[in-house]
Structure 1
């Protein structure tokens, strides 16, 4: 069984003490494809080292995370442009809008999001969207920028069924992870109404660990708990969940 984790921050310092062991558990669990989102330029060297250490399993994205859109965001975007021109990446991400932590940066978050969507179009790459308390703002920009060749993943989807359909209408897959296993996660209540062809798996490790690890450090091997939950929801085998979601990830990233 080949499982794809479409979103893991394996370069995080949360793994500095035991990254090799975490990776071995991941591979032993059948999770052999790991897509790594960027945050800002301070993490680039760690990401490149991770790719060097695990070239058959690690696939990198490049982008500026919305919570790291600060006064210097134009310099950060220049770094994104430079990296995309000099190295192979599989998506522009994670990008988007986050109004949970700081609403005062909305205008520059919107600008950074728009610019990175345009960059993805120019580079013919998918986008991976981070959205927190900002569905309306995200959808407004997606509506402005929509195009037949613009596609990607709505990472860590936690919206309503209506918002799920709207995200899908913009050629986005829904990134489903640990939240689907939470009692108060809500998405498990309507997920079956979404065709599996629109779903990809993710962990967002070291964050959002699924039950029974909720509140602890997440890791890619725990995606098995998400596979199990989706198998229950869709009433199909875990193998089928793994197969379909991995094929969906290939459709997004081209590999």
Structure 2
């Protein structure tokens, strides 16, 4: 499963182990950008969290966000530097995008910088994502994964959500690119009371949404969770930790 930490790192949890990713998010761009980028580069050299000592398995989340107080120019600079860093250190990349019109800009930088086999985890896919762009991503980068969480299961615009469900239903290679995540403690799925929301209930709610939407023969929520865990181990190369 994939769980958010409120500042630099995100937690990747599987088989009782916790790993971390580190990156500069578009809403938390520091004042001294170069100092923070240098610090991030140093962290990637060591590949261990300076706070917890846990292994770091990816760079991110990073990307663009139209609700950020920082300009798109600032965000693009920080994002591009982290994509370059992912290529240099051969580290998986975790992406965040809020604003459908920004997906293309992020993707074009990926195509320019990364080899086609680079592992990518595109975080928080929902009805407001650029779905055609994501199709292009999966075709171009075979080691890319799209992640569903509580924001995926509903949308205030029923027509947009209906189109999103159809997009999922029509994805012929969904299982090869599927990740289930929680973004806990944020993005509680609709229909789940906040006091009942935890990483386990969040993952299961997302899995049930995919099960009911994709209607893949023989794939229930439990099997989808197992498949997601396998994809997480693959994208983050967790086999090197005997996970």
- Counterparts of residues 7-18 of structure 1 (less than 5 Å): 8-9=3-4, 11-12=5-6
Corresponding position: 1:247 with 2:215: no
- Consecutive unaligned residues of structure 2, counting only runs of 5 or more, are 49-54, 239-243
When the two structures are aligned, how many residues end up with a matched partner?
A: 213
Unaligned runs of 5+ in 1: 13-38
| Deviating 4+ runs (over 6 angstroms) | 214-217
* Higher-RCO chain (CA-CA 8 Å, sequence separation at least 6): 1
Provide the C-alpha distance between the structure 2 equivalents of 1:96 and 1:153, rounded to a whole number of angstroms.
12
Q: TM-score, normalised by structure 2?
A: 0.78
2:175 matched residue in structure 1: 196
> Structure 1 residue 229: deviation in Å?
1.4
Kindly state the Cα deviation for residue 59 of structure 1 after the two structures are TM-superposed: 0.8
Cα distance in 1, alignment partners of residues 155 and 132 from structure 2 = 20
Question: Which moved further from structure 2: 244-253 or 205-214?
Answer: 205-214
Alignment partner, residue 212 of structure 2: 232
Deviation at 1:170, TM superposition (A): 4.2
Question: Partners of 2:18 and 2:86 in 1: how far apart?
Answer: 20
Of 96, 110, 119, the match for 1:151:
119
Q: How does 1:1-255 map to 2 (within 5 A)?
A: 5-6=1-2, 8-9=3-4, 11-12=5-6, 39-40=7-8, 56-86=16-46, 87=48, 88-102=55-69, 104-133=70-99, 134-158=102-126, 159-171=129-141, 172-184=144-156, 186=161, 187-194=164-171, 195-213=174-192, 218-221=197-200, 222-235=202-215, 236-255=219-238
Distance 1:217 1:149 in 2: 39
2:165 and 2:199 map into 1 onto residues whose CA distance is 20
